[in-house]
Amino acid sequence: MEYHDKVLKCSECGAEFVFTAGEQMFFADKGFKNEPKRCKACKAKRAEASGGNGSPMRSETKTSCSQCGKETTVPFRPTQGRPVFCRECFQQRRAMGAA
Residue ranges making up the domain that contains 92: 61-98
| Residue 92, in any domain of the structure | yes
55 Cβ partners below 8 Å, 6+ apart?
none
Mean pLDDT of 24-35: 93
User: Would you place residue 47 in the very low, low, confident or very high pLDDT band (cuts 50, 70, 90)?
Assistant: confident
Same domain, 42 and 68: no
42 plus 10 within the same structural domain = yes
Same domain, residue pair 65 and 40: no
The verdict on residue 94 lying in a domain is: yes
Q: Which position has the higher pLDDT, 53 or 15? A: 15
Using 50, 70 and 90 to split pLDDT, how confident is the model at 57?
low
Largest CA distance in the chain: 62
Predicted structure pTM score:
0.49
Instruction: For residues 58 and 54, give the distance between their C-alpha atoms in angstroms, rounded to a whole number.
Output: 12
Q: Which residues pair with 64 in a beta bridge?
A: 71
pLDDT score of 51 = 64
pLDDT of res. 53: 57
Among 16, 33, 36, 15, which residue's Cα sits nearest to residue 7? 16
Residue 19 φ then ψ, to 5°: -100, 100
The answer to the question of residue 28 being in a domain is yes
pLDDT tens, 75-95?
Answer: 888 888 899 999 999 999 889
Number of compact structural domains in the chain? 2
- My answer on whether 10 and 35 are in the same domain is yes
